Amino acid sequence: MRHSSTQIFTALGSAAAEPAHSCISLIGMPGSGKTTLGRALAAALDWGFVDTDHLLEAWYGLTLEEIRNRLGQEGFLLAEERTLVTLNISRCVVATGGSVVYLPSAMKRLKDIGEIVYLQADLRTIEARVAENPERGLVMAPGQTIADIYRLRTPMYESQADFTLRTDCQGLNDCLIELKEWIHARSTQRTCA
């Protein structure tokens, strides 16, 4: 069943009024849809949208790939961690970098400010999407492949998530509807508790 953007935004706005926590953070592999879905969800909720990769780029005045090349993998992760632990926001949808799960203090901060949603897609989908934008600045050790980091990160994402949403087998509108239903259910659970 297809839904119009207006139907989705109206349904999200009315049913999701206000989740128990003030932010929703999206985690997942590069290419899982964090930025695309994050922007759409923020618009639907009439919330702010924060892309932590863009914050890093703005701070350094460089692309993610340039930051990674200059700082190295360890330096890049420290910069990402510094950016995330200092977030002081509310009523925002946060799209994180895919490597955020390597940073316990950053994941704790995301938990402190709200709920965490893991956007899951199969490896073939991730590889195809990453191939469309090879300048993503992936945090990978020399010789590591996307398949390697996919296998490494998947259980980490799963263990941190309050909710998991498949983004490879449904379109944006259906993803938004599923998120709306989850947000509404969480709000109802907390109201009744």
Summarised one tens digit per residue, pLDDT across range 67-92 is: 988 999 899 999 999 999 999 999 99
Distance, in Å, from the CA atom of 162 to the CA atom of 185, rounded to the nearest integer, reads 12
Number of CB atoms found within 10 A of residue 65's CB? 14
For residue 132, the model assigns a pLDDT of 85
**Token pair of 58, please?**
């703005």
Q: What is the mean pLDDT of residues 119-145?
A: 85
Give tens-digit pLDDT for 148-175. 999 999 999 999 999 999 999 989 999 9
- With bands split at pLDDT 50, 70 and 90, how would you rate the model's confidence at 131? confident
Domain segments of the chain as ranges: 5-181
Is 6 a residue whose pLDDT tops 80?
Answer: no
For residue 192, the model assigns a pLDDT of 62
Q: What angle do CA 174, 176, 178 make, to 5 degrees?
A: 70
- With bands split at pLDDT 50, 70 and 90, how would you rate the model's confidence at 18? very low
Superfamily of domain 5-181, CATH level 4: P-loop containing nucleotide triphosphate hydrolases (3.40.50.300)
> What share of the chain has pLDDT > 70, as a percent?
84
189 CB contacts (<8 Å, ≥6 apart)?
none
For residue 55, the model assigns a pLDDT of 94
- With bands split at pLDDT 50, 70 and 90, how would you rate the model's confidence at 109? very high
Give tens-digit pLDDT for 35-62. 999 999 999 999 999 999 999 999 999 9
**Token pair of 53, please?**
């990769």
